[in-house]
Amino acid sequence: MILKKIAGVAFAIAFLMAIVLFTDVGRGYVSLYTAKIVFMIAGAVGLLLNLLSFQSGKHSSLFNFLYWSGSIVLFVGLTFLLSGLPYGYYVIVTGMVIVGVSFILPESLVQPKNDDNDLLDEFN
């Protein structure tokens, strides 16, 4: 549970730095170089901590695995884009597709099985 809270704080910091990087808001307070470094470090820490604790969520392991794998690919694409490396947009789109697939999975695969049946539930 503490890993999720630390990951949430890291994501909040990374999100603030993404706002600085992509919208030019706050550039008077944080330099571009510092925002890039903090974004990459905070994003990587948040993703790593959530990846380590993804099985303790409320969704199934398949949903969590696809969602966090897509998030990692998306983060790598943003890092490519910020670093000026080629194919950053393609990696971003690939990550978004993986995350999107995790949301359109059938409910039987996404929701964990509940074996808690009452007698009246079996008659419906």
pLDDT at 13: 93
pTM, entire model? 0.67
Distances in Å between the Cα of 110 and the Cα atoms of 44, 51, 71, 75, 105 are 26, 17, 17, 23, 6
Query: What's the pLDDT tens digit per position in 26-71?
Result: 888 999 899 999 999 998 998 888 877 766 556 677 777 888 889 8
Helices (H), 24-111: 32-52, 61-83, 88-103, 107-110
Each domain of the chain, given as residue ranges in start order, spans: 1-56, 57-112
Residue 14's identity, in one-letter code, is A
Residues 73, 78, 86, 97, Cα dihedral to 10°: 40
